[in-house]
Chain A
Amino acid sequence: MKLTIQVNEGPYQHQASDSAYHFTKAALEKGHEVFRVFFYHDGVNNGTRLTTPPQDDRNIVARWSELAEQHDLDLVICVAAAQRRGIVDDGEAERNGKDATNIAPGFRISGLGQLIEGGIQSDRLVVFGD
């Protein structure tokens, strides 16, 4: 089965990002293909490398990055939601005249078309949020 996962909620808010992570990991372990994970609305906050949670707490952002590296996942952050919330990669920094970037490894910023494509290309779209 080919899956696209949509995450609408930021880390450490309620539970959606945790649920999405554990679901994605379980699907990969069962041999399913994850076509894309799309971060939308406050979900874009899952993609900032500047978070520093306490050492005895889970690092939600790093956990996504590690999963992406292990499984070559496509973690896509919605550009319009990212601009509103200050999630910046090199291209966005240049385009909008920002003096820094904060995007975490394994994530990329792109448009809503990537979500639509995920829905079309995948057998199932599973949404996590509040």
Chain B
Amino acid sequence: MSILHIVNKSPYERNSVERAVEYLRDGDRLLLIEDAVYAVIRGGKAASLIDGRNAAVLGPDLAARGIAEEKMIDGIEVVDYAGFVDLVEACDKTQSWL
């Protein structure tokens, strides 16, 4: 039973990225949207939370915040909204960490 964990708040504002990562199990995916995309910035304090966790990030929300892909840590999958839909389909259920 895989879960897509969707987080939408900056890790510098709330602790939902940290909480979601604690609940990740094998086969689960983490998707960062809206202000949660700030977690992917290399050198940021929050980057270590998601490093090596097979996280995905919503590309349009990165672009809206001026975060170029070369500023990201390695191993992050960038998806568009169609890719967001694919992640929802690939996992058995979704959990939005609001």
Chain A interface (Cβ < 8 Å from any Cβ of B): 1, 3, 8, 14-16, 19, 22-23, 25-27, 29-30, 32, 124-130
The distance from the CB of A129 to the nearest CB of chain B, in whole angstroms, is 5
Cβ-defined contact, B88 with A126, below 8 A: yes
- Name B98's closest neighbour in chain A (CB-CB): A129
The distance from the CB of B57 to the nearest CB of chain A, in whole angstroms, is 13
Cβ-defined contact, B34 with A26, below 8 A: no
Q: How large is the interface on B (under 10, 10 to 19, 20 to 34, 35 or more residues)?
A: 10 to 19
Cβ-defined contact, A126 with B96, below 8 A: yes
Q: Within 8 Å CB of B68, what residues of A?
A: none
- Name B82's closest neighbour in chain A (CB-CB): A26
A130 to B97, CA, bound (A): 9
Q: Within 8 Å CB of B81, what residues of A?
A: 22-23, 25-26
A23 to B79, CA, bound (A): 12
Cβ-defined contact, B84 with A26, below 8 A: yes
- Name A3's closest neighbour in chain B (CB-CB): B88
Q: Within 8 Å CB of A27, what residues of B?
A: 85, 88
Chain B interface (Cβ < 8 Å from any Cβ of A): 6, 8, 33-35, 60-61, 80-82, 84-86, 88-89, 93-94, 96, 98
- Name A9's closest neighbour in chain B (CB-CB): B98
B96 interface neighbour in A3, A25, A29, A129, Cβ under 8 Å: A129
The distance from the CB of A73 to the nearest CB of chain B, in whole angstroms, is 16
- Name B89's closest neighbour in chain A (CB-CB): A1
- Name B83's closest neighbour in chain A (CB-CB): A26
Q: Within 8 Å CB of B89, what residues of A?
A: 1, 32, 124
The distance from the CB of A38 to the nearest CB of chain B, in whole angstroms, is 14
Contact A15 B85, CB 8 Å, known A124-B94, A129-B96: no
**The 4 residue pairs across chains A and B that have the minimum distance between CB atoms:** A26-B81, A127-B96, A129-B98, A15-B34
Cβ-defined contact, B60 with A30, below 8 A: no
Jot down 12 A-B pairs with beta carbons below 8 A, ordered by A.
Answer: A14-B34, A22-B81, A25-B81, A26-B85, A27-B88, A30-B82, A124-B88, A124-B93, A124-B94, A126-B6, A128-B8, A128-B96
Q: Within 8 Å CB of B88, what residues of A?
A: 1, 3, 27, 124, 126
